[in-house]
Amino acid sequence: MNNPVRVAITGAAGQIGYQLCFRIAAGDMLGPNQPVILQLIEIPPAKDALEGVAMELEDAALPLLHGIVTTTELDEGFKDADVALLVGAKPRGKGMERADLLAENGKIFGPQGKSLNAVASRDVKVLVVGNPANTNALIAQANAPDLPAENFTAMTRLDHNRALAQLANKTGTHHTRIKQMTIWGNHSSTQYPDLHHVNCDGKTATDLVDRDWYENDFIPTVQQRGAAIIKARGASSAASAASSAIDHIRDWVLGTDGDDWVSMAVPADGSYGIEPGVIFSFPCTCEDGQWKIVQGLDINEFSQARLDATDKELREERQAVESLL
Ligand code: NAX
């Protein structure tokens, strides 16, 4: 058996955190031979709820679970963390402007970046789930100058998986037979789900669906799926969000499959004309614990306009939090 891996989760008593704890401790994220220690972080009002989660984890007697830390102190929670899932965030309150939301979350993700910088493993893999995820990841990364910038990512895997599901339903193909899906940009309604490079059971996806469905049904459905879930369920996506976070880290640590790629929001490096300074979702492959942006994909005029729009939104978000970077 390997040595236990330390997985820190903020917002661990919330809906996504509750799902994450059990799936990770069951081996779904790091494999059936990898013991884990869960380091669960909450804010003081949720401390009792967090103790309840820890009690349930104990009661499940999961073989891979080798320890549980519950805390409201960042340095205790992030100590030696190999993986950090930053899920807890401030929800948008009534009448709150986007800039206020960004600023409120900056107060959370700045200190979390500083704490990771001080006490986490130097190889810590950070995934920000809490919204606005891309810009929260940027704030955390900017506050952790001693950690490599590429350790900081944000989640667009749920959007990626939602896009697979929509195309699978439309074409009658099982989603495991669909490869090379891409979500570009921000985890927001400006994200761009791109079908141009998708291989659907050996065929080019854009040959299988008509343009009208792609532009006027597929793209808005994927962009607004989160709102549709809230309307139907009366609560935001939780199990699917946790599942996608697990997919993101599993592929980052264990590698992507063959010639397939995944969508990850990572620090922009100039690829596809996206200048450094934002955390942008790109098609990525992973090997030996490192992600790499897939290069050389053709971007047509239609795609370019959408990349520009989501990039513009991320630059505006960046401007709103400039003082926190
Ligand atoms: P919940 O409100 O159920 O849980 C959030 C938990 O975080 C609460 O227990 C709260 O006490 C805790 N928390 C708040 N501030 C904290 C802090 N500073 N430190 C530690 N813990 C803190 O929300 P949940 O449904 O679990 O969603 C969590 C976040 O994920 C939200 O920001 C949500 O918008 C975001 N999502 C992001 C998605 C993505 O694809 N990137 C999809 C799902 C989800 O909507």
**Tell me: the pLDDT tens digits for 135-157?**
999 999 999 999 999 999 999 99
Q: What is residue 94's predicted lDDT score, i.e. its pLDDT?
A: 72
Residue 257 has pLDDT above 80, yes or no: yes
Establish whether 27 is an annotated binding residue: no
- Ligand 1: which residue has its CA nearest to atom 27? 16
The mean pLDDT value of the chain amounts to 96
Residue 92 has pLDDT above 80, yes or no: no
Which of 187, 196, 197, 248 is catalytic? The answer is 187
Distance 115 CA to ligand 1 centre (A): 19
The residue type of 234 is: G
- Note the pLDDT tens digit of each residue in 194-251: 999 999 999 999 999 999 999 999 999 999 999 899 999 999 899 999 999 999 999 9
Q: What is residue 1's predicted lDDT score, i.e. its pLDDT?
A: 72
Q: What is the mean predicted confidence (pLDDT) over 297-323? A: 96
- Ligand 1: which residue has its CA nearest to atom 42? 241
Look up residue 162 and give its DSSP letter. H
Residue 115: partners with Cβ closer than 8 Å, 6 or more residues away: 74, 75, 77, 78
How many residues can be counted in the chain?
A: 325
Residue 95 has pLDDT above 80, yes or no: no
List Cα–Cα distances, 302 to 196, 265, 283, 313, in angstroms: 10, 21, 18, 17
- Note the pLDDT tens digit of each residue in 155-178: 999 999 999 999 999 999 999 999
Look up residue 185 and give its DSSP letter. B
Please name the fold of domain 5-154. Answer: Rossmann fold (3.40.50)
Q: Please list the residues that pair with 290 across neighbouring strands.
A: 287
Question: Please, are residues 300 and 78 in contact by the beta-carbon 8 Å criterion?
Answer: no
d(CA 141, CA 46): 26
Ordered by start, the domain boundaries in the chain are 5-154, 156-321
Q: What is residue 116's predicted lDDT score, i.e. its pLDDT?
A: 98
Which atom from ligand 1 is nearest to the alpha carbon of 45? Answer: 11
3-state secondary structure of 93: coil
Does the annotation mark 175 as catalytic?
no
CATH of the domain spanning 156-321, picked from 3.10.450.50, 1.10.10.10, 3.90.110.10, 3.40.50.720: 3.90.110.10
Instruction: Name the strand (E) or helix (H) holding 58.
Output: helix 47-59
Q: What is residue 211's predicted lDDT score, i.e. its pLDDT?
A: 96
Distance 187 CA to ligand 1 centre (A): 14
Establish whether 41 is an annotated binding residue: no
Q: What is the mean predicted confidence (pLDDT) over 4-9? A: 98
- Ligand 1: which residue has its CA nearest to atom 13? 88
Establish whether 131 is an annotated binding residue: yes
Question: Please, are residues 178 and 205 in contact by the beta-carbon 8 Å criterion?
Answer: yes
Q: What is residue 96's predicted lDDT score, i.e. its pLDDT?
A: 75
| ipTM of the prediction greater than 0.95, yes or no | yes
- Note the pLDDT tens digit of each residue in 36-78: 999 999 999 999 999 999 999 999 999 999 999 999 999 999 9
Residue 91 has pLDDT above 90, yes or no: no
Which atom from ligand 1 is nearest to the alpha carbon of 49? Answer: 9
- Ligand 1: which residue has its CA nearest to atom 35? 130
pTM over 0.90: yes
Ligand 1: residues whose CB is within 6 Å?
Answer: 10-11, 13-17, 41-43, 46, 87-89, 108, 129-131, 133, 155, 158, 187, 226, 236-238, 241
Establish whether 295 is an annotated binding residue: no
